[in-house]
Amino acid sequence: MTPTSREAPDIERLAAAVAGTARPLTGQDRAELAELLPLVGRHARDAGLRLEGDRRLAVTVHALAFLRRVRDGERLDPLGPEVHAEIPAAGLNAARVLVAAYCEPRGRAADDTEAALFALHFEAARRAPEHSDTEETAMAVKIVIGHRLGKGQAVAEGVRKAGAEPVLIPGPGADMKVGDVMAAEGAVLGISFCGSGGAGAVTAKAKYGHDIEFGMRSAQARGDRRPTGPHRARLRLPGHRGPGLRGRRSAAEEAGGGGMTDSRLTVRVAGSGPTRERAFAAAMGEVRKRVGEAAPGVCYRVEPLTLDVVSAVEHRWTERFLGVLFARQRRRYDLELRVTVRAGALDLAALDFAVREERLSPLQHALRMR
């Protein structure tokens, strides 16, 4: 099929985008795109969507990947419930009709995962701000989100509602990649949810010189619900229990602390690894443990304030199989840091527990029940 005048520029733009890849556009790809893209365009018009610029190219790239999977008999794994939660039911049903219109003539059952991916593209276009024909597409402010356990979907939704573009790093250990992804995406702000004393944020500062601020997990910061600093993005994130936590903390402080203490501690930590980043992460991973040992009570909050490098040593040696063959250069990095933190702790021994006496009936005594 010959592409229409509207789809032909999209196909040529796609061909230029994938020309340098391992799988450039083929004649068969062009013929199948000429069938699929009009279906996509009709679906967008029926839904009242405008696919322009980079958004249109993104949908075209996805269409190419989709038709190749159909041709090769490849099926994707089902998507998780958090992805389907982003898609309105009407949008998903309409995308199913689109996928079925292309798949059924080729003897393949419509794939719900493929329909959901198309629906996500259309939903992103629906949420995008509208522009006039004479107005250039505005560059969205990008916010990178990295969570130690690969989470962060709720924060990404809050960023999206604030009018910015979230870049959610997938997979465990994402907090350590925030600086790299910010550089790659040209993002103005990164949010690192880290369980090791802020290692992700400090790594971003060490590699790229970013200004950083700790405390987004504290009660006060969640209550304020805004990042601060010289380059803040001025967006508001959803509360996520912030005001309630701040209120409870303030009430406890006004009542005399209730066994809570806020102290400033300095600890020395060390870490080793095959790369500089791994050594730094290992050292920062020791911060919470050392602070927990030194804090008076059970430590519930650790906020790094300053960091000094005590020593940084790179060890190099050459390994050979049987002492003579296959020479290989090896490295190990040892890093020792002095970290000053503000630690919040709760002295459980100082808490006054109310005592409530209970009487057991003879039957409860017999059955050893309360």
The pLDDT tens digits for 138-167 are 446 788 998 888 788 888 888 887 778 899
Alpha carbon 368 to its chain's center: 50
Topology (CATH level 3) of domain 260-350: Dodecin subunit-like (3.30.1660)
Predicted pLDDT of residue 225: 39
Q: Where are the domains of the chain?
A: 7-127, 142-254, 260-350
Predicted pLDDT of residue 133: 42
Predicted pLDDT of residue 337: 92
DSSP state of 132: -
Distances (CA, A) of 140 to 44, 121, 212, 296: 22, 16, 22, 46
Q: Which residues contact 132 (CB under 8 A, 6 or more apart)?
A: none
Predicted pLDDT of residue 333: 93
Q: Which of 220, 258, 226, 264 is nearest to 242 (CA)?
A: 220
Does this model's pTM top 0.75? no
pLDDT digits (tens, 9 = 90+) for 232-261: 333 333 333 333 333 334 444 444 445 678
Predicted pLDDT of residue 252: 41
H helix intervals, 143-286: 153-161, 178-185, 199-208, 219-224, 242-254, 276-284
Q: Which of 198, 213, 152, 149 is nearest to 302 (CA)?
A: 198
Does residue 363 sit in helix, strand or coil? helix
Class in CATH terms, 7-127: mainly alpha
pLDDT digits (tens, 9 = 90+) for 38-68: 888 888 888 888 777 777 888 888 888 888 8
